[in-house]
Amino acid sequence: MSEALGDNLKLLCSHYRSIAEVCRKLAINRAQFNKYLSGQSRPTAYNLKRICDFFGVEDYELLLPPEQFARLLGARTPGLGAGKRVDPLIELLKPLREQSGDLRRYCGYYFEYSNCMSVPGYVLLSLVHLWEEEDGAFLFERQERQERSASADVQAEDWVRCRYLGAAFQLQDRLFLMDYESLTLNEMSQTILIPSYKSRITRLNGLKTGVSSGDRRNPACTRVVWEYLGTEINRISAYRQVRLYRPDDARIDDDVRQRLDVGPLKNGLFEIE
């Protein structure tokens, strides 16, 4: 019975832009609603009435077999003349979006500190922007730049710029961020962050995996620190700080250095040969 309820709820939600939108309109916790969708639990009588009133169905109709419920709504069976084929990649990620927690409190701008994978012994400071789309998806952009030389007079053409675009999910007690380099389309990376359980977000710790930009393109992993800047910032001023720093530079405080330190691993970086 709970399984039929979950399938029927999924069908009703498919008429909206996202499950996150439905949860907001219903004012029901996303994690709890996910349990209804997966058949792990049934709504209380009070929540069931709110759901039925919202979708315009009767409570007994939600318990009908999915095929009968679909006919009741006049919905087509997926795959039978339904028109344009659904992108398999979107379908693959759909369960992640449905299971993901609410990341709205983490939206905003961050400085990302990491041990540089391309220049060991240096700290790379990047600028990250995390936001929510209208359909409830959480996307982010990460800006990086590195000098080609150690010259004090660095010209515009001496900078290597990278722009990563990706999607963010909260699964269980971790934040997962997957991205790709959008200018060259030649690499991907993944970042896993530990959420903040404080009322105010300051810094988040985690790990990032990717590849160095050297000729060998060695896979590498480093600790990473995200420093929260706010929802509105001076982007030009922030971007001017995006570059490589020596670990003893005054811009890198003791707290960041300690968070990036991985003890026995050289330069805070682990390369896979």
Single out the residue of 12, 5, 7, 6 nearest to residue 63, CA to CA.
5
pLDDT digits (tens, 9 = 90+) for 55-95: 888 888 888 888 888 888 764 444 433 444 567 888 888 88
Nearest of 142, 189, 139 to residue 162 by alpha carbon: 142
Tokens 């209804």 map to which residue?
36
Mean pLDDT of the chain: 84
CA distances from 163 to 114, 160, 208, 212, 247 (A): 16, 10, 16, 15, 24
List pLDDT tens digits, range 181-212: 998 888 899 999 998 888 889 999 999 999 87
Task: Give which of 199, 205, 216, 221 is closest to 271, Cα–Cα.
Answer: 221
Asked whether 36 and 3 are in contact (CB, 8 A), the reply is: no
Measuring CA to CA, how many Å separate 225 from each of 3, 92, 174, 203, 246? Answer: 41, 30, 14, 7, 16
Least confident of 65-79, 172-186, 224-238, 247-261: 65-79
Q: What is the per-residue pLDDT across 131-142, written as a single tens digit (0 to 9) for each?
A: 998 878 899 999
0.75 exceeded by the pTM? no
Q: What pLDDT sits at residue 215?
A: 62
What is residue 21's three-state secondary structure? helix
For 196, the 3-state DSSP assignment is coil
Q: How confident is the model at residue 148 (pLDDT cuts 50, 70, 90)?
A: low
Q: Measuring CA to CA, how many Å separate 11 from each of 50, 52, 67, 224?
A: 17, 13, 11, 40
